[in-house]
Amino acid sequence: MMKKSLKKLLPLIPALAVLVSLALPSGCANTTAPPSGGDKDTIPPVLTKVFPLPGSVNVDPHKTKLRFTFNEYVKVKDANSIYLSPPLEKKPKTAIKGKSLEVTFESDLDTNTTYTLDITGAIVDNNEGNPFPGFTLVFSTGSKIDSMCVTGTVQDCNTLSPMKGATVMLYKDQSDSAVFLKRPVAAAKTDDWGFFSIRNIQDTVYRVYAIKDEGNNNIYDPDNDRIAFLDSLFRPTLVYDDSLYELKKFDMKDTLLCLARKSELELNVFREKPSKQLIVKKERVGPRTAYLTFMAPDAVIHDMRIKGLPREKLISQFNLQKDSLELWVNDQRKMPDTLKLVIKYDKTDTTGALKPQEETIKLAMSREARAELMKKESDWKKRKHEDTIAVMTTSADGATFDQNGFQIEFKYPLIEEAWDSLGFRIVNPRQQESKGKVKVVRDTTNLRRYNVFPMEALQPGYEYFLKIPHRKFRDINGYYNDSTELKTSLPNDEKLSSITLELSGVRHKYIVDLLNEKRDKVLRSFIVEKNGNVVFPYIKAGTYCIRVTQDLNRNNLVDTGVLLEHKQPEKVRFFKLEDKFLIDVLEKADMIWKINLEEMFR
């Protein structure tokens, strides 16, 4: 009999021990006003009492009230951080009464269910705003406390950056529709490191999802939320224990402690293609320029024209994702205030099917653009030089010259081109000049951008000049270009370094990127389709990372996933040195690493 009673009390012992330790005297004054003089209060609130006690069973599910009492006056800083699992339709209600936080619910709890209420990150003291480290209360409306748990990490599918505030959800319902229609049977929010732990769950099989829940309703909305999912069904193997390192509360600024936590699951969040296709935005940005934005990528256009103009007068260009379309009118006559675009494209109908439909889109100039145009036309003397020439931007960066060459981009599409008029010359280190030949490549994603490459091999110490003569290029406005000359040379700074990747195991097409430390800027990019070396030259000392994307459909894009097709986004990996993806590059370093891509993506 004694053994049976002891067994019932065992789940309460660790929690009671925590409360006893928290109830010990603190050096912080329990007043509503800060004491005069002395050091600033930096001690966080201490939890002294909890009702019901942690591990309580048979809690009444009707009008349930939870109370957390502290050693000082506190306030709720972030109500969204007070999270109940499994969640109800409406969020918990909170009230501060004296030194206590009371939590209530607008509907009854379910019977025979283990609940956890996490208040981590929600509470600060009333005077100095010192944050309460966190606490999770577990109780049951049934006769037992579920004992299993799971840990994991949620990250962005492209950058592999941790995703804070994502909702990780477990479903016993294995149908594909559950995440769209129902709330989960257990859930938790990720912390600053994208880490989550869902504790005190049943020992059964689950489907696992993570969403960036913009509606804050614990249901997946594909038009607004991003999602991740586990490929297979999951059954927890980890039994909950207060001593588990992964379930402790940590200061999010303590990098070493937070990164030492082990993840059972890894979920990569992506944004699905919108379920509907239609034109969601239109704008006339100039007399002969406009653009359309589609709700979903891969828009299909069957026919397009502007009323009153021949079809060949309309120039158009999709972006790489084919969800944005630029339009230009190749006609120098004065354009009306409103252009009428007749477009036939695959649009989602009322049944949800994609069918060819014709629309007439009115493209009216904005009031500001019209006023600016009238001003230019009425006062020729005040016209700027750029209003009378074919505007172009040019650049030539020595550090990327081997890959990009001289770059030329016109503001408007060209109707006359004379690339054979370009003048290219080379000056060697002894100041001897010679003429050379160039190759012009039109950008496949931007019909107004061109790359000009020297035919000769590039050499350190040599200077390269490209002369664009006057009046050799004419745009759709009828304007000719100004002359200009570009100059560049390969970097000769002896402090620069290089990275060479010796790639093997190349079984697919891959995109290899060199990124900055924050992973938000691509410095160099290569397409790889066979074994060999990839070289990143002329690198300044600093911190970088190398990202490799598996481009299975060979479209040079990181394709997103499709939930209902159980299709994950294309895989992304970061090259790691000693288990760290950030690479420190020193001055004058020639770094060489071998990477087996087949093993990296296994």
CATH number of the domain within which 585 lies: 2.60.40.10
Residues in Cβ contact with 111 at an 8 Å cutoff, skipping those fewer than 6 apart:
61, 141, 142
Average pLDDT over the chain, rounded to whole?
Answer: 90
Do 395 and 291 belong to one domain?
A: no
Residue 204 lies in a domain: no
The predicted structure's pLDDT at residue 19: 45
- With a cut of 60, say whether residue 94 has pLDDT above it: yes
Do 564 and 470 belong to one domain?
A: no
Tokens linked to 360: 């007439």
- Strands 167-171, 186-189: pairing is antiparallel
Count the Cβ atoms, other than its own, within 10 Å of residue 322. Answer: 14
The predicted structure's pLDDT at residue 579: 82
DSSP code, position 457: P
Do 367 and 457 belong to one domain?
A: no
Are 138 and 54 within 8 A, CB to CB? yes
Q: What is the CATH number of the domain that holds 314?
A: 2.60.40.1220
Q: Which of 144, 177, 199 is the last residue of a domain?
A: 144
- With a cut of 70, say whether residue 21 has pLDDT above it: no
Query: Confidence band (pLDDT; 50, 70, 90) for 20?
Result: very low
Do 365 and 405 belong to one domain?
A: no
Do 485 and 504 belong to one domain?
A: no
Residue 564 lies in a domain: yes
The predicted structure's pLDDT at residue 381: 59
Residues in Cβ contact with 586 at an 8 Å cutoff, skipping those fewer than 6 apart:
497, 541
Q: What is the CATH number of the domain that holds 80?
A: 2.60.40.3710
Do 583 and 444 belong to one domain?
A: no
- With a cut of 50, say whether residue 13 has pLDDT above it: no
Residue 399 lies in a domain: yes
Residue 502 lies in a domain: yes
Query: Confidence band (pLDDT; 50, 70, 90) for 352?
Result: confident
Q: Mean pLDDT, to the nearest integer, of 186-198?
A: 96
Do 368 and 399 belong to one domain?
A: no
Q: Mean pLDDT, to the nearest integer, of 296-310?
A: 95
Q: Mean pLDDT, to the nearest integer, of 543-571?
A: 90
Residue 317 lies in a domain: yes
Residue 267 lies in a domain: no
Q: Mean pLDDT, to the nearest integer, of 540-568?
A: 91
Residue 274 lies in a domain: no
User: How far apart (Å, rounded) are the C-alpha atoms in residues 169 and 196?
Assistant: 11
Q: Mean pLDDT, to the nearest integer, of 501-526?
A: 94
Do 435 and 519 belong to one domain?
A: no
Query: Confidence band (pLDDT; 50, 70, 90) for 289?
Result: very high
User: How far apart (Å, rounded) are the C-alpha atoms in residues 111 and 310?
Assistant: 71
Residues in Cβ contact with 325 at an 8 Å cutoff, skipping those fewer than 6 apart:
291, 292, 293, 294, 299, 301, 316, 317, 318, 319
pLDDT tens profile 173-185: 999 999 999 999 9
Do 134 and 3 belong to one domain?
A: yes
Are 371 and 377 within 8 A, CB to CB? no
Residue 572, SS3? Answer: strand
- With a cut of 70, say whether residue 33 has pLDDT above it: no
Residue 462, SS3? Answer: coil
Count the Cβ atoms, other than its own, within 10 Å of residue 302. Answer: 11
Measured over all CA atoms, what is the biggest interatomic distance in the chain, rounded to whole angstroms?
103
How many domains is the chain partitioned into structurally?
A: 4
Residues in Cβ contact with 138 at an 8 Å cutoff, skipping those fewer than 6 apart:
15, 54, 55, 114, 115, 116, 145, 199, 200
Are 491 and 398 within 8 A, CB to CB? yes
The predicted structure's pLDDT at residue 8: 44
Do 368 and 318 belong to one domain?
A: yes
- The helix (H) or strand (E) run that includes residue 4 is helix 2-9
pLDDT tens profile 421-444: 999 999 999 999 999 999 999 998
pTM value is: 0.77
Do 6 and 134 belong to one domain?
A: yes
Give residue 325's domain range.
279-378
Residue 506, SS3? Answer: coil
User: How far apart (Å, rounded) are the C-alpha atoms in residues 165 and 169?
Assistant: 13
Query: Closest Cα partner for 211 from 563, 558, 559?
Result: 563
Are 94 and 102 within 8 A, CB to CB? yes
Q: Which of 144, 171, 192 is the last residue of a domain?
A: 144
Residue 242 lies in a domain: no
Query: Closest Cα partner for 218 from 324, 101, 59, 87?
Result: 87
Q: Mean pLDDT, to the nearest integer, of 81-90?
A: 95
User: How far apart (Å, rounded) are the C-alpha atoms in residues 354 and 376?
Assistant: 44
Lowest mean pLDDT among 42-56, 135-149, 218-232, 365-379: 365-379
Q: Which of 378, 413, 448 is the last residue of a domain?
A: 378
- With a cut of 70, say whether residue 482 has pLDDT above it: yes
- HEC string of 470-485 equals CCCCEECCCCECCCEE
Q: Mean pLDDT, to the nearest integer, of 238-255?
A: 91
The predicted structure's pLDDT at residue 386: 72
User: How far apart (Å, rounded) are the C-alpha atoms in residues 554 and 497?
Assistant: 31
User: How far apart (Å, rounded) are the C-alpha atoms in residues 471 and 465?
Assistant: 19
Do 472 and 511 belong to one domain?
A: no
The predicted structure's pLDDT at residue 38: 55
